[in-house]
Structure 1
Amino acid sequence: MNIIFLTLGRISNVTDSGIYTDLIREFIRNGHSMYIVTPVERRYQQSTELYDNGGAHILRVKTLNIQKTSYVEKGVGMLLLEMQYLRAINKYWRYVKFDLILYSTPPITFNKVICTLKKRWQAKTYLMLKDIFPQNAVDLELFSKNSIVYKLFRKKEEKLYSISDCIGCTSPANIEFVRLHNPTVNPKKMDICPNCVELVDRIKGDKKQSPLLKKLNIPTDKVLFIYGGNLGRPQGIDFLLEVLKANEKRSDSFFIVVGSGTEYDRVKSWYDAHKPQNSCLLSYLPKEKYNDLVGLCDVGLVLLDKRFTVPNTPSRILPYMEYRLPMLMAIDTHTDIGSIALNNGFGLWTESGDIETFMDLVEYMVEDEQRRTEMGKKGYKYLCENYTVEKGYEAIMKNF
């Protein structure tokens, strides 16, 4: 089949690792022709371009800044996306017959592109529902349900669900949330399509002998907890800072924070002011170096703002599972990732904001290395059985 994939993810090299590039390669391995539409934000000062890479056709469309920017520019940029994407597709691929239109949230603003291509070629449509907007923004108090902004995006969300032949949700709680809040959506077209990776042989490094830890000035005689990913409002940064402060009272645990995002400057200001001895902040590491660092750590951290009513499934759990790290989660009570981890023996969780329980769980993780090892093995087993690109590919293609 000719498959067009519409994404906000910045894809320039299909051979890179990532939840979308890994899945794209699985489609290519199964004989499909992949056409990818991806943004190149104005900060990079590049024009729209078309090129082939790794067996895929990639169309990079010049857009406004839509990630790690102000909420105003991000909102305007999201609204302009469908016009920019459709114009580029019509210019470069006007006569390519697409059999399947594949897309993910965010954003929810591809409706016109999807409808145009679906009508033009009688193509099938599949939504990979990675987050639920605009409700997640309401949860974080970015705007209210009574605002014009919410009503505008809510209409686009409802339209997106209606034009999608199938909706792949990341977890059972996601399916239930969509079903309860969108009664017009046929539940038969919803199924699980998880965040997934292409399995490779990840080998944990030797912490005691690591030149990387030495270079980063990270101790090798403490249990290393790592958080990697976005540092923004969805992660409940206030609680992260509370945890880092509380951990200063311990002598056997060290927290590594790696990431960027809208709250990074606030986190850095906290580090500059408090100069903690039991944690460090790293603004950026290349993907492979970050993976190497994960492989040297003992526990993976998952953080979500406690105000969320939408059930998120953070993709950052995947590298933790690949490297057989047990997980410690400070999350909201609506997501099911905590219960999935707990019920399958590879993680522990508490509600974000409960510092006493969280620090008790830190102690639980620190006190028994063998227990951490067993939990990590169970996480890897769950990954192999549920979160591989083969599972993701099958979840999509069984419908077509």
Structure 2
Amino acid sequence: MNILFLTLSNINSIYESTIYTDMLREFINNGHNVYIVSPSERRTNNPTHIIEEDICKILKVKVGNIQKSNVVEKGISTLMLERNYKSAISKHLNNIRFDLILYSTPPITLVSTIEYLKIRDNAKTYLLLKDIFPQNAVDLGMLSKTGMKSVLYNYFRAKEKRLYELSDYIGCMSQANVDFLLEHNPEISPNIVEVCPNTIEPLPVEKNERKIEEIKQKYKIPLNKTVFIYGGNLGKPQGIDFLIECLDSNKTNDQVYFVIAGSGTEFTKLKNFFKREKVTNAQLFSYLPKEDYETLANSCDVGLIFLDKRFTIPNFPSRLLSYMQASMPILAATDVNTDIGDIIEQGKFGFWCESKSVEQFDKKVQLLCDKKLRTQMGVKGRRYLEVNYTSKHSYEIIMSHFK
């Protein structure tokens, strides 16, 4: 089959290791032709162009700045996406007829592009539902169902409903996502909705004691403490205020050390906290060289996941998979609506607490200072990943509709 993947993720090579490229390589390995459409933000100063790799073509579409930009710029750029994508596909991929169109949320604003291709090619469509917008923005107070902000909410809600209507199949990250989607969109047939989780192609992770010591010494991380790491976006969805409360509560705990590495709209808030409190058992990094970050991340003892307590939608961060790949136990502090904590605790590869209870977080931290327990949980996490979250799983779930 000819397969088109539409995404807002910045993909520059099919050989990257991400949930999307790993899955798409599985399609390629099984004889399918894959084409990717990915943004090239204005800040890169690159025009729309095609990257031709030996097994895949990637159409990079020039768009406005979407990531790490202010709300107004991001909003305008998002609204222009449909025109940008549709125009680029019409110009550069007009001679290809697609059998299957895969697309992920965000964004929901590619509706007209999907509709155009579905009609043009009589293609099947599969939505990989990675967030539920605009409800997530309502949860965080960025949009409202009443007042002035309701205009934008109603616009995006109509787009969301049309996207579901255009989708022949909808793959959700977990059962809680399936349940939420069907409860709030009763017009969707349960027959087209299924669990299609985030997946990766697991790589071997070497725990080389010499390299672990070297990377920790390089970044002045103690060798004799339990090191907790959070790596990724530092924005409103992560509930940074609670993360700060947890760091503050543990600043005199001489058994632990926290590494926070990432960027986002709330980074400055974290930076100001570190500067104000002069925390000695934690470090904040805005950037690390890719190789150093991967080595450091795989050298830590516990992986952290944070989600804002206000969420009513069941998020399921893909960060979970990289921790499991490294045989690292997980401490997740989230809202009560996601089922990520249930999966972690039922699989016995980590702990969960609600992201409003610092006391519970601290208790879990102390439990994870037990090296034997960490090792047992890490092994179970890696095993759970290999049984449930490999790219082969997502490929087979999607392809089950075409056999």
**TM-score by shorter chain over 0.5:** yes
Question: Which of these residues, 217, 220, 230, is aligned with residue 220 of structure 2?
Answer: 217
Residue 350 of structure 2 corresponds to which residue in structure 1?
347
Unpaired segments of 5 or more residues in structure 1?
Answer: none
Matched, 1:48 2:51: no
CA contact (8 A) 1:171 1:192 kept: yes
1:245 alignment partner, one of 223, 229, 248: 248
- The one-letter code matched in structure 1 to 2:172 is C
With normalisation by structure 2, the TM-score equals 0.97
Helix, strand or coil at the partner of 1:210: helix
Q: Distance in 2 between matches of 1:235 and 1:359?
A: 18
Unmatched runs of 5 consecutive residues or more in structure 2: none
Residues 1-400 of structure 1 mapped to structure 2, 5 A cutoff: 1-146=1-146, 147-206=150-209, 210-366=213-369, 368-400=370-402
Change (3 A) 1:183 1:207: farther
- d(CA) in 1 for partners of 2:307 and 2:289? 24
AA at the equivalent of 2:241: D
CA distance in 1, matches of 2:155, 2:73: 16
Shift of 1:74: 1.3
Q: 2: distance between equivalents of 1:140 and 1:97?
A: 40
> How far off its partner does 1:28 sit?
1.0
Q: Secondary structure at the match of 1:145?
A: coil
Q: 1:207 and 1:247 mapped to 2: Cα distance?
A: 28
8 A contact 1:205–1:295 mirrored in 2: no
Cα deviation digits, residues 123-163 of structure 1 (max 9, x gap): 00000000100000000000101210100000000000010
Question: Shift of the alpha carbon at 1:171?
Answer: 0.1
Q: For 2:365 and 2:386, how far apart are their aligned partners in 1?
A: 27
2:40 aligned counterpart, secondary structure: strand
* Structure 1 residues 209 and 128: alpha-carbon distance in aligned structure 2, compared to 1, 3 A threshold: closer
Cα distance per residue 1:45-77 (max 9 Å; x no partner): 111111212511111001011111111211221
Q: String of CA shifts for 1:264-314, please: whole Å, max 9, x gaps.
A: 122112112222100001112244332211211111101000000000000
Describe the SS at the equivalent of 1:50: strand
Aligned-pair CA distance for 1:398: 0.8
Matched length: 399
Tell me the TM-score normalised to structure 1 length. 0.98
For the aligned residues, what is the CA RMSD? 1.1
- Partner of 1:373, secondary structure, is helix
Distance in 2 (alpha carbons) for counterparts of 1:137 and 1:204:
40
Residues of 1 paired with 2:326 and 2:212: CA distance? Answer: 18
